[in-house]
Chain A
Amino acid sequence: MSTAGEQDAGLSLQEEHESKTHRTKRRDGDRQKKKRRNERRKGGTRAGEGEEDLQAVSEKRERSKRKRAKSKQETSRRENNEEEEAQLTGGKGTKARKDIRNEKTRRMEKEEVREVEENVDKGKKKQGSTKKGEKKEDGGKQLVKGKAREVKKKKHKKAETSSEPETSEEDDDEEEDNDKDVVRLECLSPEELEKLKEAVDERKKLIQSLRGKPWAMKKKLVTLRESQEFVEKYEGALGKGKGRKLYAYKVLMTKKWMKFQRDFENFKTGCSIVTVASYFLFLRWMYGINMILFGLTFGLVMVPEALMGRPYGSMPRKTVPRAEEASAMDFAVLWDFGGYAQYSVLFYGYYNNQRTVGWLKFRMPLSYFLVGVGTVAYSYMVVIRTMARNANESGVGDDNSFNFSWKMFTSWDYLIGNAETADNKFASITTSFKEAILEEQESHKDDNIHLTRFLRVLANFLVLCCLAGSGYLIYFVVRRSQKFALDGLENHTWWERNEVNMVMSLLGMFCPMLFDVISTLENYHPRVALQWQLGRIFALFLGNLYTFIIALMDEINLKRKEEKIVKFNITTWEASLYNGTVSENSTASPVTIHPADVPRGPCWETMVGQEFVRLIISDTMTTYITLLIGDFLRAVLVRFLNYCWCWDLEAGFPSYSEFDVSGNVLGLIFNQGMIWMGSFYAPCLPALNVIRLHVSMYLQCWAVMCCNVPQERVFKASGSNNFYMAMLLVILFLSTLPAIYTIVSIPPSFDCGPFSGKNRMFDVIHETLESDFPPWFSKVFSYASNPGLVLPFILLMVLAIYYLQSTSKSYREANVELKKKLQMQNEENKRKNKRAALKAQMDLEEARMTAQEQQRNNNASVQDQESGSLNSNINKEY
């Protein structure tokens, strides 16, 4: 029967998602009812075996289901069907299936099912073990069949349970009782009602606090049962009129809400290993932000343009030029985001400068501009808010007074259910203890200061060399790639075309390792070393990014020069065209030129967008590939070569890779910086990033689970959270800087993008103000933007910021002071306690001493007396 039991368990698992809320509600009741009913029905149900028994049970069930009159017929019909089938397939298997189905449909009547199961069990035992295989097969088939039916039933069941959540929970008898109670209650006086209410509240409190009481389960169950019955009896009745139903509904909703919250919490703290989990939490947070950015750009920019703007091929900027048409669909070109990808909604150049789009009169250029600004503003807001919250949280804790005790009693993670993880945990606990001991000892000694100082200077010098070298390398590569670009990309190899991105990714990969090696020279405390390391990597990434941007700026200037020439050419071309047509056909019919043939300028905005997209793609690829090679392949090699190698690979040199939390977080931060920088020129970037984050979440999760070992040195991530956030903020600022610079100071291209034809991009606001708002509004606006008003306003804001900052500073100081006082108090208490204990001990000792002395004295005196008496006796005798 164990097979059937397993099936049941499996099915109940399936069902759980659907009916968990009901179940959780009922579970307690279930258990208690089980016993009660069993007692009641022991005789009846246990009398017979087989079919008769089943029918008896089902009859009872139907009787108990008077309330569900609608469903009754259906179920009985189904049961008939089932019986027919049962005759066809025959034997025990059908019973098992019935059990399964009964369980599914009416969870509350489990105990009956269980009895039936038991009967089946007995039957099976009689049958012997030879037919077991057969039975299993039967079960499998029926499972499949049953599922199809189950789906149909689910709807029905849902309706049932949600419409009558309360009644389905109780027995009929109780129901009637309650009804009587209601009647009786209505003729109670208000004071009695009040009393009753209090009693109910008390019971409720008891139920709630029951879980917190260290009683044995039996006692808990008994008390719970009693008080639940009490509450159920009177609670609903206390409500007026429809209160009962309303109450049931309310309970249901609160339970659902609780469940949701709990799930959410579980989701939030998904991983059990703290430090690694912090990385994934960060990644998820980032994912959330990107989702919103994606929603903004997708909903307000890309979709309107794609749906309501002019279709592809209607104008030059939306058409692939004739020269590129042949290769526009090649995969290599598309992979570089050229060809059709370049002339699509993914990039800036595709957008039209029509003021309104479609029947909604959607202001496309304005929306584009506002979305660009909004993304940045939203990101600032989120980052700063999170920082503030983190600061709040970290300000309170940070109590280090129980370091060893906590290590001792809370370091074991009770969730570990896997031998390998357990081994790792043992190792990490041991090292953490050793580290703590070392730290404790280290606080008492100091080293050769001159040597370490020299080494640190040397290390910093080396790191600076690395940084400068990498910066120069990038600059060199970007310059070279420009030369290649001028020659035409087609004549160069793949490497030469993708040099910039590859070099940047490779630098980002190898330099941190180099820094790690260098930092061993410095002999810092690990925590300090970690921060140095992070700072250096940060500087490296930042330098690389900015070299890249400077190179891009050069390129933009080149393109703009090119644009000027093209513009001039176009005017001559148009003039020649016009002249040509005029001279050829004097009717001056409108000339139709295919948009692909129209000459056009180099759209530098699209170029910038393309560069960023390529950068992101190559970065993503390198991350994934390093993950696969560096982690997975290494793990596989180590694991399987270990059987035939001359030293222990797992413990020795290559070993498994650690999951580098800080490096990964930094990578994430920089990735986000690039998104912020590039998303104005390539609206598709947030979408790309969402995909990337999604994939890397699962990929890295898998990598962590299967081929990484936890870091040996584990530090509490709580303090460094805001460190990362601060980095993110700096990156955000630094990445919006170039974007804003280009928006404000460089005129947009003349023939592509939503702002074409304007002098500056932000002119779109001016235009909207003039044409879409009433004149008084623009007047007010012009007054408000008057420097005479703006300057005082800014001054006021600065003053407010200063004031708030100084108050917060004083609060913080007070806080620190209070903390210090508390600590002092604590220590004082401790000392006092110790002194008191010592004193008590001394007193005790003294008392004991005196007692002993007294005793000795007594003894002595007694002895004296005795001896005296003896002496006297002796004397007398003599």
Chain B
Amino acid sequence: SKLFYRYRDLAPQLVPLDYTNHPDVKLPYELIGSMPELKDNPFRQRIAEVFSEDGEGNMTLDDFLDMFSVLSEMAPRDLKAYYAFKIYDFNNDDFICKSDLEKTLNKLTRNELTEDEVRMVCEKVIDEADLDNDGRLSLEDFQHMIVRAPDFLSFSLTETPTVML
């Protein structure tokens, strides 16, 4: 219910209080991306796209709840890994390939690395994590790698779990 208010506060004019009668209201990406939790996140657009049903960042309440439940500290690692994979998979081809890695890296460092450095880091990443040697990371590769990461729990938007689901 707290989350509902959060959702509603984003656009009081769009979302009626009695939500049940209008279950198909959608908030556009511009509003979702301006939330304090997301507005400084380099991957905000990807997050919104991944969790929205239409894939363009426009969210219904269910999508919204979905996002917060996955990105809460309580969510299990496997689930987080799954969605993290989706977020980093920019071109939605179910593989993280080199172009995805480059995009991720450039977003993380705000394009401050030289091209050589970017290329080298991407090569290193693929070299480390790619187990089946197809030159790109599949979901299994990604999970295999990410589950061993020491601070993967930082992949959460809220400190306290707001959604109990």
Does B148 lie within 8 Å of A399, measured CB to CB? yes
Does B105 lie within 8 Å of A410, measured CB to CB? no
Q: Which residue of A lies closest to B154 (CB)?
A: A413
User: Which of B63, B133, B156, B159 meets A838, CB within 8 Å?
Assistant: B133
Contact with B along A415-436 (1 / 0, CB 8 A): 1111101100010011001101
Q: Which residues of A contact B134 (CB under 8 A)?
A: 837
**Interface membership of A361, Cβ < 8 A:** no
Does B17 lie within 8 Å of A121, measured CB to CB? yes
8 contacts between A and B (CB under 8 A): A9-B9, A38-B21, A114-B18, A121-B17, A217-B165, A262-B74, A404-B124, A404-B125
User: Which of B112, B142, B156 meets A414, CB within 8 Å?
Assistant: B156
Does A718 lie within 8 Å of B1, measured CB to CB? no
**Interface membership of A266, Cβ < 8 A:** yes
Does B37 lie within 8 Å of A426, measured CB to CB? no
One of A22-30, A579-587, A606-614 contacting the partner = A22-30
How distant is the Cα of A214 from the Cα of B70 in the complex, in angstroms? 9
**Interface membership of B48, Cβ < 8 A:** no
Does B20 lie within 8 Å of A34, measured CB to CB? yes
User: Which of B2, B21, B82, B159 meets A9, CB within 8 Å?
Assistant: B2
Q: Which residues of B contact A216 (CB under 8 A)?
A: 53, 62-63, 66
**Interface membership of A242, Cβ < 8 A:** no
Does B75 lie within 8 Å of A211, measured CB to CB? yes
**Interface membership of A652, Cβ < 8 A:** no
Does A410 lie within 8 Å of B155, measured CB to CB? yes
Does B62 lie within 8 Å of A412, measured CB to CB? no
With A412-B41, A414-B71 in contact, is A218–B62 under 8 Å at CB? yes
Nearest Cβ distance between residue B93 and chain A, in whole angstroms? Answer: 18
Q: Which residues of A contact B12 (CB under 8 A)?
A: 1-2, 5
Q: Which residues of A contact B40 (CB under 8 A)?
A: 416-419, 421-422
Q: Which residues of A contact B148 (CB under 8 A)?
A: 399, 402
Nearest Cβ distance between residue B68 and chain A, in whole angstroms? Answer: 10
Q: Which residues of B contact A35 (CB under 8 A)?
A: 20
Does A118 lie within 8 Å of B124, measured CB to CB? no
Does A9 lie within 8 Å of B5, measured CB to CB? yes
Contact with B along A1-33 (1 / 0, CB 8 A): 110011011001100000000001001101000
Q: Which residues of B contact A266 (CB under 8 A)?
A: 73, 159-160
Nearest Cβ distance between residue B117 and chain A, in whole angstroms? Answer: 6
Q: Which residues of B contact A414 (CB under 8 A)?
A: 41, 71, 154-157
Q: Which residues of B contact A829 (CB under 8 A)?
A: 131
Does A118 lie within 8 Å of B17, measured CB to CB? yes
Q: Which residue of B lies closest to A13 (CB)?
A: B2
With A408-B101, A414-B71 in contact, is A437–B117 under 8 Å at CB? yes
Q: Which residues of B contact A117 (CB under 8 A)?
A: 17
Q: Which residues of A contact B159 (CB under 8 A)?
A: 266, 272, 415
How distant is the Cα of A5 from the Cα of B152 in the complex, in angstroms? 36
Indicate the member of A2, A262, A410 with the most B CB atoms within 10 Å. A410
**Interface membership of A830, Cβ < 8 A:** yes
How distant is the Cα of A536 from the Cα of B94 in the complex, in angstroms? 52
Nearest Cβ distance between residue B33 and chain A, in whole angstroms? Answer: 13
**Interface membership of B32, Cβ < 8 A:** no
How distant is the Cα of A221 from the Cα of B164 in the complex, in angstroms? 12
Nearest Cβ distance between residue A407 and chain B, in whole angstroms? Answer: 8
User: Which of A110, A224, A402, A421 meets B129, CB within 8 Å?
Assistant: A402
Q: Which residue of A lies closest to B124 (CB)?
A: A404
**Interface membership of B120, Cβ < 8 A:** yes
How distant is the Cα of A440 from the Cα of B124 in the complex, in angstroms? 10
With A118-B16, A405-B129 in contact, is A28–B164 under 8 Å at CB? yes
User: From residue 395 to 412 of chain A, which have CB atoms closer than 8 A to chain B?
Assistant: 397, 399, 401-406, 408-412
Nearest Cβ distance between residue A486 and chain B, in whole angstroms? Answer: 59
Does B154 lie within 8 Å of A406, measured CB to CB? no
Q: Which residues of A contact B112 (CB under 8 A)?
A: 426, 430
**Interface membership of B28, Cβ < 8 A:** no
User: From residue 87 to 123 of chain B, which have CB atoms closer than 8 A to chain A?
Assistant: 88, 101, 104-105, 108-110, 112-113, 117, 120-121
A residues touching B (Cβ–Cβ < 8 Å)? 1-2, 5-6, 8-9, 12-13, 24, 27-28, 30, 34-35, 38, 110-111, 114-115, 117-118, 121, 210-214, 216-218, 220-221, 224, 262, 266, 272, 274, 397, 399, 401-406, 408-419, 421-422, 426, 429-430, 433-434, 436-437, 440, 716, 718, 829-830, 833-834, 837-838
User: Which of B79, B113, B156 meets A211, CB within 8 Å?
Assistant: B79
Contact with A along B141-160 (1 / 0, CB 8 A): 01001101111101111111
Nearest Cβ distance between residue A526 and chain B, in whole angstroms? Answer: 19
**Interface membership of B84, Cβ < 8 A:** yes
Does B76 lie within 8 Å of A412, measured CB to CB? no
How distant is the Cα of A421 from the Cα of B73 in the complex, in angstroms? 20
Does B2 lie within 8 Å of A437, measured CB to CB? no
User: Which of A210, A220, A397 meets B150, CB within 8 Å?
Assistant: A397
With A217-B66, A429-B108 in contact, is A415–B156 under 8 Å at CB? yes
Does A417 lie within 8 Å of B164, measured CB to CB? no
Q: A118-B18, A414-B155 are in contact. List 6 more A-B contacts (CB 8 A).
A: A24-B164, A38-B21, A114-B17, A214-B79, A415-B154, A837-B132
How distant is the Cα of A430 from the Cα of B107 in the complex, in angstroms? 11
How distant is the Cα of A433 from the Cα of B105 in the complex, in angstroms? 10
Q: Which residues of B contact A114 (CB under 8 A)?
A: 17-18
With A412-B43, A430-B110 in contact, is A27–B65 under 8 Å at CB? no
Q: Which residue of B lies closest to A218 (CB)?
A: B62
With A211-B69, A220-B165, A416-B41 in contact, is A430–B113 under 8 Å at CB? yes
With A211-B165, A212-B79, A833-B132 in contact, is A274–B151 under 8 Å at CB? yes
How distant is the Cα of A833 from the Cα of B129 in the complex, in angstroms? 13
**Interface membership of B56, Cβ < 8 A:** no
User: Which of A110, A418, A429, A716 meets B1, CB within 8 Å?
Assistant: A110
Indicate the member of A1, A111, A401, A408 with the most B CB atoms within 10 Å. A408
Nearest Cβ distance between residue A427 and chain B, in whole angstroms? Answer: 9
Q: Which residue of A lies closest to B66 (CB)?
A: A217
Q: Which residue of B lies closest to A220 (CB)?
A: B165
Q: Which residues of B contact A221 (CB under 8 A)?
A: 62, 165
Contact with A along B32-70 (1 / 0, CB 8 A): 000011011111000000000100000000110110010
With A266-B159, A404-B124, A416-B41 in contact, is A410–B146 under 8 Å at CB? yes
Nearest Cβ distance between residue A796 and chain B, in whole angstroms? Answer: 42
Nearest Cβ distance between residue A257 and chain B, in whole angstroms? Answer: 15
How distant is the Cα of A426 from the Cα of B43 in the complex, in angstroms? 13
Does B155 lie within 8 Å of A262, measured CB to CB? no
How distant is the Cα of A433 from the Cα of B154 in the complex, in angstroms? 18
**Interface membership of B8, Cβ < 8 A:** yes
Nearest Cβ distance between residue B8 and chain A, in whole angstroms? Answer: 7
Nearest Cβ distance between residue A870 and chain B, in whole angstroms? Answer: 47
Q: Which residues of A contact B1 (CB under 8 A)?
A: 12, 27, 30, 110
How distant is the Cα of A401 from the Cα of B124 in the complex, in angstroms? 11
How distant is the Cα of A834 from the Cα of B133 in the complex, in angstroms? 5
How distant is the Cα of A262 from the Cα of B159 in the complex, in angstroms? 11
Contact with A along B4-28 (1 / 0, CB 8 A): 0100110010001110110000000
Indicate the member of B78, B82, B83, B124 with the most A CB atoms within 10 Å. B124
How distant is the Cα of A214 from the Cα of B37 in the complex, in angstroms? 22
Q: Which residues of A contact B39 (CB under 8 A)?
A: 417, 419
How distant is the Cα of A410 from the Cα of B154 in the complex, in angstroms? 7
Q: Which residue of A lies closest to B62 (CB)?
A: A217
Does A211 lie within 8 Å of B41, measured CB to CB? no
User: Which of A224, A402, A422 meets B145, CB within 8 Å?
Assistant: A402
How distant is the Cα of A433 from the Cα of B17 in the complex, in angstroms? 47
Q: Which residues of B contact A212 (CB under 8 A)?
A: 75-76, 78-79
Does B146 lie within 8 Å of A27, measured CB to CB? no
Q: Which residues of B contact A5 (CB under 8 A)?
A: 5, 8-9, 12, 17
How distant is the Cα of A217 from the Cα of B69 in the complex, in angstroms? 9
Does B18 lie within 8 Å of A433, measured CB to CB? no
User: Which of A6, A111, A426 meets B108, CB within 8 Å?
Assistant: A426
Does A411 lie within 8 Å of B108, measured CB to CB? yes
How distant is the Cα of A111 from the Cα of B19 in the complex, in angstroms? 10
